A = this chain, B = another copy of it.
Amino acid sequence: MLTVANPTALALQAKLFRGFADPSRLAILQALRNGARSVGDIVQATGLSQPNVSNHLGCLRDCGLVTASPQGRFVYYELSDRRVEQLLRLADELLADVAKGVYECTRYRAEDSSDA
């Protein structure tokens, strides 16, 4: 059997991608593409509820996709690494070509989830 890679590495990589694989987290990451934002700013920008944003930020922070900088009672978040933005951009470009297929894929919910 042509074993492809060690399972732990696969599990880690899947976890990394899962950071990007949810519309709410993506909305948060998009909101950070232009620089640091406080939690309140992100709540405003995304329309998600505050606890929901905090939960997702916790996930993104634990996974190292964003970093937090407390300043007084605010906490500013930003993308942790240039490559996070690169991944987002590459996905944008890929999506431009495969969007139709993705859209028509019925295996996962196509829900709009436009609000919290």
Residues of A within 8 A of B (CB): 1-5, 7-18, 20-23, 25-27, 30-31, 41, 44-47, 58-59, 62-65, 80-81, 83-84, 86-87, 90-95, 97-108, 110-114
Contacts and interface: CB of A to CB of B under 8 A. Distances in A.
Contact of A11 (B8, B23, B45, B92): B23
Q: Assembly of this chain: how many copies? A: 2
A87 to B, nearest CB: 5
A26 to B, nearest CB: 5
A23 B5 contact: no
A71 to B, nearest CB: 20
A16 B87 contact: no
Nearest to A41: B2
B30 A5 contact: yes
